[in-house]
Amino acid sequence: MSDREMILQQALALPADDRAYVATVLEQSLSEAGDAISGEALLAELQRRSAACRAGTTSARPAADVLADLRRRQAAGAAK
C-alpha cells in the first residue's frame, strides 16, 4: 500500500468532525497553492448540479439550514 493510500485510510477512519477538519485544511491548502478547481471546471460542475436539481434527481436544502447544521456540529465538536 502506498503512503497516500495509507494516509487516506487513516483519514477515513477518523470521526466525522475530524474528517471535515482535514478536508477543510486540505481544500484551503489547494486554494493557496493555486491548485483550486479551474473556472471552467467549476462552471461545468455548477451546471451539472443545477440540471440535476431541475430534473428532480437530487435534493436541495436552504443554505440557512445547512449553515445552522454546520454550526451546531462545529459547536458540538468544540465542546468535546
Query: What is the structure's pLDDT at 60?
Result: 82
Query: What is the structure's pLDDT at 55?
Result: 92
3-state helix/strand/coil string of 15-74: CHHHHHHHHHHHHHHHHHCCCCCCHHHHHHHHHHHHHHHHHCCCCCCCHHHHHHHHHHHH
Query: What is the structure's pLDDT at 10?
Result: 93
* The pTM of the whole model exceeds 0.85: no
Query: What is the structure's pLDDT at 69?
Result: 92
Query: What is the structure's pLDDT at 34?
Result: 60
Residues of the chain with pLDDT under 50: none
Q: Where are the domains of the chain?
A: 3-78
